[in-house]
């Protein structure tokens, strides 16, 4: 089945199409995060800690907000100063950044005119250090959303190589690699994740943690894929067209890439879509435990780690939980899309939705 017809099939399934669009929007925001974010990820404003989301109002001159000040009688709360209006400007100049990491720019979707340097627009409130949760959410999306794709690519390549080769050749290689797979699958995932992270991390700098996480997650993830691919390539290896190719003297790498890989392509697509949530959740869990992405960078898991404070629970700082909802939406979209793809590719194995 070619790609075009897969897309047309998705269009006929509202749930699948909806999740594809949701993912498209999420990735669009992540790619152009700096443009949408009003502030840099690590910009602090210590007198505005745990500021609630700013109320945006509509007036004669367009959208505006009010300046706020910490309430002296009521710690942790803010007073709105109603006599001054700060207009919101679109496509106006803000902090400089590099779009897509290359193009230098300083325009942002929303900015406020800075009469008073302390005024801030917090669309989703601020955290303990007064950093804009909305900006951090966008910055975190870059890390949380890309890790799934990079991780899954490495996993699929590894899984295809190990599984494909051991299924195709059999013998000692097959025996050894399958025992290794069983070994990896016999350890509870997160335990292995933590053990790997503690032994690998000291060899990297703390700003290379992104790399470490990708390596660790792919190290664990390839086992299941390799096992399934091995079974498939075992049966494919005995099919007439592969035997014919072998008889005609084609090289092994040629057979694997030209004959076996295309037959596994649709399986790999479904497996990849359904495994990406595992990577996103893995990164989030590691960062949440403080073992993943390090401050001052932002990732969704790391942001949730900061919400783990009594103050947040007691004083109802609900906006601190938004990264959790972001993870939730992303994961559910990938799951629904994966199931839809599976239904399209393998109609026998209909799933529930």
Partner 1 sequence: MIRFILKRIAALIPLLLGISFLVFILMHLTPGDVLSEARAAQDIPKEYIIQMEKQYGLDKPWYVQYLLWLKSIGTLNFGTSWTYKIPVTDLLAQRIPATLTLAIAALVFAWVIAVPLGVFAAIYKDSVFDRISSILAYAALSIPEFFLALLAIFFAAQTGWFPIGGRTALTHSLMSSWSQFWDIAYHSVLPTLVLGLGGIAGMTRIMRANFLDHIRSEYVTTARAKGVPEGWIMFKHVLRNAINPLITSLGFALSGLLSGALLVENVMNYPGLGQLVYEALMKQDQYVVMAAVLMGCVLLMLGNLFADILLAWSDPRIRSTTIES
**Minimum distance from residue 98 beta carbon to partner 1 (Å):** 31
Stretches 134-142, 147-155, 255-263, 285-293: which one binds partner 1 (CB under 8 A)?
Answer: 285-293
Among 157, 195, 211, 257, indicate the residue that binds partner 1 (CB under 8 A).
Answer: 195
Distance CA 291, CA 195 (A): 11
> Which residues does 100 contact at the CB level (< 8 Å), separation at least 6?
31
Number of residues that bind partner 1 (CB under 8 A): 43
Distance CA 118, CA 95 (A): 15
Is 55 or 186 the residue whose CB approaches partner 1 more closely? Answer: 186
Among 72, 202, 249, 347, indicate the residue that binds partner 1 (CB under 8 A).
Answer: 202
Distance CA 148, CA 272 (A): 9
Is 264 or 302 the residue whose CB approaches partner 1 more closely? Answer: 302
**Nearest residue to 139 (alpha-carbon basis) of 32, 284, 21, 279:** 32
Among 183, 243, 244, 257, indicate the residue that binds partner 1 (CB under 8 A).
Answer: 183
114 binds partner 1 (CB under 8 A): no
Among 21, 80, 211, 332, indicate the residue that binds partner 1 (CB under 8 A).
Answer: 332
**Minimum distance from residue 251 beta carbon to partner 1 (Å):** 34
96 phi and psi, to 5 degrees? -75, 150
> Which residues does 328 contact at the CB level (< 8 Å), separation at least 6?
none
Is 65 or 276 the residue whose CB approaches partner 1 more closely? Answer: 276
Among 173, 228, 245, 331, indicate the residue that binds partner 1 (CB under 8 A).
Answer: 331
Q: Give DSSP secondary structure letters for 288-313.
A: HTTSSSPTTS--HHHHHHHT-SHHHH
245 binds partner 1 (CB under 8 A): no
Among 182, 207, 295, 346, indicate the residue that binds partner 1 (CB under 8 A).
Answer: 182
Is 98 or 179 the residue whose CB approaches partner 1 more closely? Answer: 179
CA angle 141/146/147 to nearest 5° reads 110
Per the CB < 8 A criterion, the answer to whether 296 and 42 are in contact is: yes
Angle (deg, nearest 10), helices 189-200 and 261-288: 70
Is 105 or 196 the residue whose CB approaches partner 1 more closely? Answer: 196
Both structure tokens of 201: 């991390």
Both structure tokens of 340: 């839809």
284 binds partner 1 (CB under 8 A): yes
User: In which element (H, E) is residue 112 found?
Assistant: strand 103-112
211 binds partner 1 (CB under 8 A): no
Q: What is the binding site for partner 1 (CB under 8 A)?
A: 179, 182-183, 186-192, 194-196, 198-200, 202, 277, 281, 284-285, 288-289, 304, 307-308, 310, 312-314, 316, 318, 321, 324, 327-328, 331-332, 335-336, 351-353
């Amino acid at each position: 089945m070619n790609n075009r017809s897969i897309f047309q099939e998705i269009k006929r399934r509202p749930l699948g199409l909806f999740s594809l669009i949701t993912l498209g929007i999420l990735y669009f925001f992540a790619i152009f995060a700096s443009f949408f974010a009003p502030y840099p990820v690590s910009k602090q404003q210590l007198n505005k800690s745990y500021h609630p989301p700013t109320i945006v109002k509509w007036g004669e001159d367009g959208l505006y907000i009010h300046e706020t000040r910490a309430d002296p009688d009521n710690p942790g709360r803010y007073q709105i100063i109603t006599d001054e209006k700060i207009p919101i400007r679109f496509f106006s100049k803000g902090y400089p950044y590099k779009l897509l990491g290359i193009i230098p720019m300083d325009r942002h979707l929303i900015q406020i005119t800075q009469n008073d340097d302390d005024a801030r627009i917090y669309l989703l409130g601020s955290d303990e250090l007064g950093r804009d949760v909305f900006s951090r959410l966008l910055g975190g999306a870059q890390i949380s959303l890309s890790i799934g794709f990079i991780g899954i690519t490495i996993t699929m390549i590894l899984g295809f190589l190990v599984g494909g080769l051991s299924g195709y050749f059999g013998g000692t290689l097959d025996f050894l690699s399958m025992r290794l797979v069983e070994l990896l699958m016999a350890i509870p995932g997160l335990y292995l994740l933590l053990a790997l992270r503690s032994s690998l991390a000291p060899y990297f700098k703390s700003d290379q943690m992104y790399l470490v996480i990708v390596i660790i997650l792919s190290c664990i993830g390839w086992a299941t894929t390799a096992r399934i691919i091995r079974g498939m390539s075992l049966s494919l290896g005995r099919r007439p067209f592969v035997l014919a190719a072998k008889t005609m003297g084609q090289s092994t790498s040629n057979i694997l890439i030209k004959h076996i890989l295309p037959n596994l392509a649709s399986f790999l697509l479904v497996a990849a879509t359904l495994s990406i949530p595992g990577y996103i959740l893995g990164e989030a869990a590691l960062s949440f435990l403080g073992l993943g992405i390090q401050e001052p960078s932002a990732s969704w898991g790391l942001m949730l780690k900061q919400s783990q404070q009594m103050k947040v629970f007691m004083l109802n700082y609900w906006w601190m939980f938004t990264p959790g909802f972001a993870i939730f939406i992303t994961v559910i979209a990938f799951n629904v899309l994966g199931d839809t793809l599976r239904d399209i590719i393998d109609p026998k194995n209909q799933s529930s939705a």
